[in-house]
Chains A and B, each alone.
Chain A
Amino acid sequence: MSTEFMMIDNMPVEIEGEKNILAVIRKAGIDLPTFCYYSELSVYGACRMCVVEDKSGEIHASCSTPPKAGMEIRTNTPRLRKYRKMILELLLANHCRDCTTCEKNGKCKLQELAQRFGIKQVRFNNTAGEADLDTSSLAIVRDKSKCILCGDCVRMCEEVQNIGAIDFAHRGSKMCISAAFDEPINDTKCIGCGQCAAVCPTGAIVVKNDTAKLWKDLSDPGVKVVVQIAPAVRVGVGKELGLTEGENVMGKIVAALRRIGFDEIFDTTTGADLTVLEEAGEFLAKVQKGEKLPLFTSCCPAWVKYAELNHPELMGNISTCRSPMQMFGSVLKEHYSHSHKRVVVVAIMPCTAKKQEAARDEFKEDGVPYVDYVITTQELIQMIKEVGIVFSEIDPEAVDMPFGATSGAGVIFGVTGGVTEAVIRRISDDKSMPALRAIPFTGVRGLQGVKETSIDYNGREVRIAIVSGIKNADNLIKKMEHGEKSYDFVEVMACPGGCICGAGQPVTNSEGKKRRSAGLYETDRMSTIKRSEENPVIMALYGGLLKGKVHKLLHVHYHGKA
């Protein structure tokens, strides 16, 4: 087939199978503004910012117009500029304009476009409502008054996560986004994955901020603040702190946390190593005993909650292993049980659902949680900025002892397929270096939502599926129910791409996600310990602290609704 071109602002641009002219325009290097367009969601076409003009003067929304060879499109005419400014003005007229005190300040799309288009006055009276907060969830906070009704959250929740916790209600200028019967979001089937907040262009849905209590504990001399840092965090902070996207800056984070005043700093990778051993053990035991398979992973609390609410029949198939954060949290609480100070275990996570997980009754002893609370990568960045640490200048430091050693297997937990790869390393018979290097090529790596592979274990084929995004998980479950698919081991991560794309991370594009993933795999490549079982810290734990307490500290029985 011959190459097809269209004209964009008098430049010929090749059409390469793009579904809409917006994609062609962006490929041509023009950042046409949008509020409601995400390539991974269905085309909604509501914000009308992406309008373009054809040669007859007709206006089209570029997000929903398919490209055609020979098409002549202009993206920047006086009319279009006027319309875009008017649309911005209309949105601003109905929007709280106290930007300086907004959680989204500096990251708000509306603010950014108002600046880009030089909106200096709004000719309509401000009809923004009072803040209308829903703080019922531990993961996110909604403020209807800041909503511009782009519907990104609705489509994310429904199309990618298969939840549909929120939808549009009412008509005309009274339209709003609401849970059914306007119930608090926590009373719905919301799983706290926070992906709605990740796509929200304004401050209408934000991640719940828990830094205030952390600051209070940090300044309390009677409190020992122990912190653990999840694998994905180290590749998520760089860009916002003046370095490159996806760069592993774990050492700098540790140094910054020490300056901020944390007493003990550890790596959740240690917890991940424990998870690998426990989960692999559980899996092999099931295989040997011929118990019901597949075994679903349990690292992702949003997935666990989804299964509880929607597939209670599968709860018996979900690994009894606590998530790495919870395993490590209980180990840390046990380790410091004799401290004369009140010990507060904080986890820095790429995840909003972890905030909910930490508060679950199953993860409390005598009402005291193993992990006291969770802050996200974004909150960490804010704290570093608040203290004024020049992150790019700070020298890296190592985490504290006695949990100073980690494995490459634990680090790759932060990306979809990582848990599976780590478990395969553990259970495969061939422990040689070439065998280890061959695992990445079995199909476990890559950011696609559904991956399948199989390995040989003692002459038995172990069929594995790796899914990220709850809709993908649900589709897979349906296929298993219908007998179309059958697996022995299924890894599920709620966020598409895994924890590196968690809603607690700074929002990035697909290129950024690839870089974060590469950053973790590079760390694994450089690590001297590749397998979890080779981590001396883990061996020491099994021989010491965990003796007789493995089940109590590392496993869980979820009882009912989260």
Chain B
Amino acid sequence: MLLNRADIQEAREHYKTALGAQKKKILVCAGTGCVAGGSLEIHAELVRLIESKGIPCVVSLEKEPHDHSIGVKKSGCHGFCEMGPLVRIEPHGWLYIKVKLEDCADIIEQSIVGDNVVERLTYRKNEQNYPTQEEIPFYKKQTRLVLEHCGHIDATSVQEYLAIGGYKAFEKALFEMSPDEIVKVIEESNLRGRGGGGFPTGRKWSQVKRQNSEVKFIVCNGDEGDPGAFMDRSVMEGDPHRMLEGMMIAGIACGATYGYIYVRAEYPLAISRLEAAIAQNRALGLLGDNILGSGHSFDIQISKGAGAFVCGEGSALTTSIEGKRGMPRVKPPRTVEQGLYGKPTVLNNVETFANVPLIINRGAAWYKSIGPEKSPGTKAFALTGNIENTGLIEVPMGTTLREVIFDIGGGIRGGAGFKAVQIGGPSGGCLTQEHLDLPLDFDSLKKAGAMIGSGGLVVMDEHTCMVEVARFFMNFTQNESCGKCVPCREGTKRMLQILERIVAGQGEIEDLDLLLELADTISSTALCGLGKTAPLPVISTIKYFRDEYEAHVIEKRCPAKNCQKLKKIVIDPTLCRGCSKCSRGCPVEAISGKIKEPFVIDQAKCIKCGACIETCPFKAIRED
């Protein structure tokens, strides 16, 4: 139990020494992706092997440190999910990729007992090996601040967090700064909410601070619901204390004594790491009454969401914590005035809170020096889709899409051409080739008709049908609409219906105007942000890919050859020898003809399965 400021400083020193005593460290990625790939078994195997060799092995800093012992840790997500399970060897900084159970012996023998890199497990690109993590192109262009500890410390240990200077910012805020000063630093840093809206965090805090209420709440939005987004999950899993520290500082600044973390139940690992971290803090006295003898009290509770996308919206989220149906409510009053249980509430997302300790420790001026002045700092993005390096990255705001997709992301998978990138989740817009040099920050994206959102980046190659993309996202928002306001509930349903018609080849040219009219109505009149932004994928794809829509509705053709119902399979009469092999293999008897004469496909019967294309010995059958 840490009773005062001297206690925490002493503990930090103690753990720092213990951490420093570890000669080598093995960091096994324990993010959700790598865990799914078997990384926990790999961790256990590594521990077993080391112990069987009689080498002192430390998994916890609380044990008496041995000189020259080896630390084997479960770290947070390293981000290079495409290459998982990942194992990092320190102090060399070697990164082993796609590690299997049977590689463990080699790793121990070569890199731990010996001092050699296992070449075959290192990343290789363009005939070059990259043994060191930081040299890999994927990492080289990144600036990892929020994610700095992910992959470098044991995500399950508050001791390691303390050892590397954790809770220093909290300590500083508690003993050296007044609440006004904390708010002022955050305001001056120009930190903007990472959840999508980009609202200035400092302004939000000062609004809550001003409220005259005995009870106030700090709420962390961990309801990351965008398909393909996992930035917040990685922070919660990989560096839970960083986020807690941010919330605890917000508590001091705004005069709140209680915090809630709203996490979707689909993030079991994040929940268990957070629960463990909260328990550790309570045991240490970092959460609870009279923290470190300061007189300030603060505690945090986790509230699990049941997976409704709309609960990421502030008022729906707080309503959900209260145990009611998660539906956005009309504003005013705003959450800062009447949020959770009708009390003034600071609601920020995970990444925003994780930025706070950095700013308190290193100052507003330093923070503002990263990225553009009006939206400074870094942003984590989840790269998914047709991209070579899927994974979690962090870059300074203002980095261009080109750098993110081609330098860090390694370009389009399989060498296909780039077509578009969908940014900002299901209600974000699609950006094209012409936007590749657009700096990624709140204001530039808004101008281009997209939004930074929470940071999901879905990359699409030339084989992607943009109408189908719009349909996919509309299907998502329609399913996830809470159903409260008419434009969102009924409007998205009709937009989806029209899009379904278009991809099925039953669209009319008038449908495009109707889509845009619906989009205008919904974005102007819907009740909440989810509704207002729901038509963005359609608006942006019609804007940039109108020709594709027109091909679907006028020519009944899918230029990307993606829409199943618009596919047409034909037999080239000049190549067909009339062998009947295709006809015999057709599951729906759509092919007929006379032997030794060209066969024909009845398009009305054909289900476009493509079986005939495979069977034809003369390559006479193809997709038109």
Contacts and interface: CB of A to CB of B under 8 A. Distances in A.
Interface string B467-503: 0000000000011111111110111111001000000
B331 A64 contact: yes
29 contacts: A45-B330, A47-B486, A64-B332, A66-B332, A82-B521, A83-B521, A83-B524, A83-B525, A87-B486, A87-B521, A90-B487, A90-B490, A90-B494, A91-B490, A93-B494, A94-B490, A123-B514, A127-B493, A149-B484, A167-B325, A168-B325, A171-B479, A171-B480, A171-B482, A172-B483, A172-B489, A173-B490, A173-B492, A175-B483
B526 interface: yes
A149 B483 CA distance: 8
Contacts of B613: none
Contacts of B482: 171-172, 175
Nearest to A58: B524
B331 to A, nearest CB: 7
Q: How large is the interface on A (under 10, 10 to 19, 20 to 34, 35 or more residues)?
A: 35 or more
A45 B490 contact: no
Contacts of A79: 524
B308 interface: yes
Contacts of A167: 325
A4 B248 CA distance: 43
Contact of B487 (A44, A48, A175): A48
A168 B489 CA distance: 13
A505 B329 CA distance: 32
A51 B525 contact: yes
Interface in B499-557: 514, 517-518, 520-521, 524-527
Interface in A368-384: none
Contacts of B520: 82
Contacts of B484: 44, 46, 149, 151, 168, 175
B58 interface: no
A173 B487 contact: no
Q: What 5 pairs across the A-B complex have the smallest Cβ distances?
A: A175-B483, A64-B330, A45-B330, A90-B490, A173-B493
Contacts of A91: 486, 490
Contacts of A151: 484
A71 to B, nearest CB: 14
B478 A173 contact: yes
A205 to B, nearest CB: 18
B514 A48 contact: no
A148 B330 CA distance: 19
Given A79-B524, A173-B483, A44 B330 contact: yes
Chain B's interface: helix, strand, loop or mixed, by majority? helix
Given A46-B527, A149-B489, A172-B478, A86 B521 contact: yes
A191 B463 CA distance: 60
Interface in A149-185: 149, 151, 167-168, 170-175
Contacts of B483: 149, 168, 170-175
Contacts of A51: 524-525
Given A86-B517, A172-B481, A45 B527 contact: yes
A296 B517 CA distance: 58
Which of A44, A123, A171 has the most chain B CB atoms closer than 10 A to its own CB?
A: A171
Interface in B325-349: 325, 327, 329-332
A94 B493 CA distance: 10
A59 interface: yes
A125 B491 CA distance: 13
Contacts of B497: 124-125
A213 B485 CA distance: 41
Nearest to B491: A90
Contacts of A64: 330-332
A47 B489 CA distance: 10
Contacts of A44: 330, 484
B15 to A, nearest CB: 47
Interface string B441-485: 000000000000000000000000000000000000011111111
Nearest to A51: B525
Contacts of B525: 48, 51, 59, 61, 83, 87
Given A48-B525, A64-B331, A171 B481 contact: yes
A174 B487 CA distance: 14
A21 interface: no
Contacts of B486: 46-48, 87, 90-91, 148-149
A63 interface: yes
Contacts of B485: 45-48
B527 A173 contact: no
Contacts of A119: none
Contacts of B493: 94, 127, 172-173
Nearest to A35: B486
Nearest to A175: B483
A172 B480 contact: yes
Contacts of B327: 168
Contacts of A87: 486-487, 490, 521, 525
Contacts of A171: 308, 310, 479-483
A61 B484 CA distance: 14
Which of B484, B486, B493 has the most chain A CB atoms closer than 10 A to its own CB?
A: B486
Which of B484, B517, B518 has the most chain A CB atoms closer than 10 A to its own CB?
A: B484
Nearest to A95: B490
A43 interface: yes
Given A45-B527, A51-B525, A173-B490, A86 B481 contact: no
A168 B481 CA distance: 13
Interface in A30-83: 43-48, 51, 59, 61, 63-64, 66, 79, 82-83
A309 to B, nearest CB: 22
Nearest to A47: B486
B473 to A, nearest CB: 14
A94 B486 CA distance: 11
